[in-house]
Structure 1
Amino acid sequence: MSSFQHSPVVPQELMAEILSRLTVKDLMRFRCVSTWLNHLVFDPTFVKLHLQRSSKNTHILLTFRDYENDESRYCAAPCSLQNLLHNPTSTVDVCHRFNHDYTILGVCNGLVCLQDSYRGDEFEEYWVRFWNPSTRVMCEDSPHIRIRSGDYNYPYLFMFGFGYDDWSDRYQVVFLDNKSQKLEIRVYSLGDSCWRNTLTCDAFPALGLHGAYACGHLNWLALPKCGSGYRWANVTMKDLEIFCYDLKNEKCRYLCMPDGLSEVPPDVPVLEVLKGCLCLSHHQGTCFVVWMMKEFGVAKSWTLLLNVSYEHLRIRHPHGLPALPVILCLSEDDNVMLLASYDTAEFILYNKKDNRIDDREFFNDDKFYFFSYDYVHSLVFPYRN
């Protein structure tokens, strides 16, 4: 009599639990092993489970525009936080260069929102599509938005933003149709057949075209108390606010600026997101200053993250203040940060705890508009199952 016994069968629930801890690259390879594995990778419940298991705040999506062969294209490079901090130039060298002139609107849960457009003599059309760099899957175009170019005069502009509503589990693109009198907000959710109107409120002079996504909200710098004839040199602190759109409740409100921002900077500040927190970068005298809102929507949680002189950073401009540097990432303990300076065309690794420059690396000056997004390798697919 044979002593051979069949190995016990692993329950599918346990198998899914084990597989949820693997990398996206491995899971995509395993799809060809069996029909069950192929279906599992596309299953929405498994996709969410894998996303929950994925490490947070350890990866960055670095984006920039690259001028090559007389044309400019956006590039994107998913990378680990440590690689970007210590090898920024080599990270740039292995980026993905789009073969089409997309604009990157934002990144959520590993899903990248790309914007495309057509500009005619009287009309302009805009649409979006979604792309997952980890799975290399890109969806088809969304429905188009058509606008009449003559309806928009500076500083009243139309704006876009990309975010995620975890309550409805929907990835949404928000279009702010900001004309001279009223602001109409339209939303397109991944998988929808049209853009839908959600809200109308008073228009405002816009200070940024792309919204910064944090904690279920999209945010733009705004001047709600200024009219169409404003000049930045005449703006006061009480005029400057953050327009905030709530994706879940489809409502808007204004957030206050940091109390420590005593005077309006000579140039428009930059609103971005680092480690899930809203950040504000600006000139203050001859210093580069960055504020971080530690608790979203709470004015008292604004914290001074950085205040360093341009002389110490060795960033100079022959005719005055340098262009505002860009913070690309923070170390896990927030003590070390990587900056990109356009005036000197270099990456600067600054240790704010010890107030010293740890490293400097030059980049090719045909690369510009560096930006970074919190990134996670995920299985989120750019279409609805």
Structure 2
Amino acid sequence: MSDQIPIHIQEEIIKRLSVKPLLQFRSVSKAWKSLIDSSEFIAAHSSHHTHPQHLLVRYQDRVNSKKQYVSFLDDETFPKHRFVLTLPFSVQILILPRHVGSSHGLLCLYDGYLAVLWNPSIRKSIAVPVPNEKYVHHETVVGFGVCPVTIDPKIIKITQFSSWYWNETEINHPLKVEVYMMSSGKWKSLSLSSNLPSKSFRVRGSQVVIDRFIYWCALRYVSINGMLCTRNVIMSFNMSNENMGVVDLPECLASAYPYNTSLSIYKLRESLALHEYSNGVCVVWVMESGVVNNFTRLYTIRASHGPKMMLGFRESGKPIMEVKDHLIARGTLVVYDPNLEKFNDLEICGTGDFLFVNSYMETLLLHDRSDCSSN
């Protein structure tokens, strides 16, 4: 094949293959090994739209109370094609791990001291110690993403004031933001030239990665007549130039009181989606592609049985939700069809105490590292 077909044609063919045969094809020739190991090929393979999406679901088994990780193939066979994942040792040793997010096929988990980057497709992981300085009245938020330009995984650490500490003098100091790059294996502090927001911004909730940006829901604290008030915004981190930014929300969302309305963000295909939950009603908003600050109401979800929590979206755009029973507070994982206004049970025998859903694609990232290695 290599003697008859130009190398660029070979590349177009093999980048459509799944990860498992690609790892085997590295032994075919030096040219193929060099091609498959290159960051350009890994980037092209990770972003190729022919690869199916997988959905990772974490839950606690109702029988033995053990945490289970199940991966679903997100295609027409969903939810029948599923398999239980074997956790790497670096994930098993985490104490009360929190799922930070996913990007380019890597998942990030964090327990306050250690961040683990895990590629479930090839069963590889690396553990990264996170600096854990103790600041009075402060707390740490960790973000994660893979820069689509350099294919370099990055961990972002934000040190901010605690939610219970409302002091006008304190919150007006700049946030402390540190970035870890896997290529260098080092942490660095961002300077004020990175457009760091002031401490009057506080990150809250989970994150989402879209293209080169990491997004979080956040609160902006403002002083009105000597009283501290809040405004809902979205904070962003550009992985290419490492600048921070702020995305404003429509007035009806920006002014929503955080104790009455819950806001969370998700990736809906390649768009930023916002989930608004208030008084048992869920509203899904989406930011128009390429139009910053322009959010459109997509649909409203109403149901008479139990409170609902958004967990993510299928590739088809249908939301995955947890619906809890009013009496026993047991969570059920369902997929909502907005056209039929119907909930479909995923038939997972688990409890909602540890429910978590994240999507990921197959990737070659970390294939050249020993499992559980640490930079």
Q: TM-score, normalised by structure 2?
A: 0.76
Q: Residue 161 of structure 1 contacts residue 213 of structure 1 at CA under 8 Å; is this kept in 2?
A: no
Aligned residue type for 1:175: K
Unaligned runs of at least 5 residues, structure 1: 1-6, 118-125, 317-321
Provide, for residues 321-342 of structure 1, a one-character-per-residue CA deviation record: whole Å limited to 9, x for no partner.
Answer: x2x422432453x4x4432224
1:197-236 matches, within 5 Å, as 197-199=189-191, 200-204=196-200, 206=202, 208=204, 210-226=206-222
Which residue of 1 is the match for residue 339 of structure 2? 353
Deviation string, structure 1 residues 303-349 (Cα, Å, up to 9, x no partner): 212212221xxx22xxxxx2x422432453x4x44322244522333
Q: Deviations over 1:270-326 (max 9, x none)?
A: 2222223222222234411121113256222x1212212221xxx22xxxxx2x422
CA contact (8 A) 2:152 2:183 kept: no
> What runs of 5+ residues in structure 2 fail to find an aligned partner?
162-169, 370-375
User: Per-residue CA shift, 1:198-220, capped at 9, x if unaligned?
Assistant: 14542146352543222322222
Partner of 2:166: none
Shift, 1:130, TM fit = 2.3
How far has the Cα of 1:226 moved from its partner?
4.8
Identify the residue that residue 329 of structure 1 maps to in structure 2. Answer: 313
| Paired position in structure 2 for 1:122 | none
Cα distance in structure 1, aligned partners of 2:59 and 2:341: 30
2:294 pairs with 1:304: no
SS in structure 1 of the partner of residue 56 of structure 2: strand
Equivalent of residue 3 in structure 2, options 9, 14, 20: 9
Closer, same or farther in 2 for the Cα pair 1:62/1:174, shift >3 Å?
same
Counterpart code for 2:366? F
Q: 2:244 aligns with which of 249, 252, 258?
A: 252
Counterpart for residue 160 of structure 1: 142
Cα distance in 2 between the residues matched to 1:18 and 1:72: 42
The 8 Å contact of residues 204 and 222 in structure 1, kept in 2 or not, is answered as no
Tell me which of 14, 20, 25 is aligned to 2:15: 20
How far has the Cα of 1:372 moved from its partner? Answer: 3.2
Residue 95 of structure 1, CA deviation: 3.8
Pick the aligned partner of 1:104 from 99, 105, 110.
99
Shift of 1:17: 3.2
Q: SS at the partner of 1:208?
A: strand
Q: CA deviation at 1:62?
A: 1.9
Q: Which residue of 1 aligns with 2:132?
A: 146
1: CA distance, partners of 2:47 / 2:198: 39
Judged with a 3 Å threshold, the aligned counterparts in structure 2 of structure 1 residues 256 and 382 are, in CA distance, closer, same or farther, namely: farther
1:47 aligned onto 2:39: no
Shift of 1:171: 2.0
The aligned residue for residue 152 of structure 2 is: 170
- Cα offsets for 1:126-148 (capped at 9, x unmatched): 23232222222223x33541311
Alignment correspondent of 1:278: 272
Which residue does 1:121 correspond to in 2? none
Number of aligned residue pairs: give it: 342
Letter in 2 for 1:104: H
What is the distance in 2 between the residues matched to 1:8 and 1:208?
Answer: 52
- Percent identity, aligned pairs only? 19
Which among 110, 131, 145 is matched to residue 115 of structure 1?
110
Amino acid at match of 1:127: L
SS at match of 1:379: coil
Deviation at 1:177, TM superposition (A): 1.3
- Structural RMSD (CA): 3.5
For 2:209 and 2:335, the matched residues in 1 are separated by 25
Matching residue within 118, 127, 131 for 2:118: 131
Letter in 2 for 1:189: M
Whole-Å separation in 2 of the counterparts to 1:310 and 1:30: 51
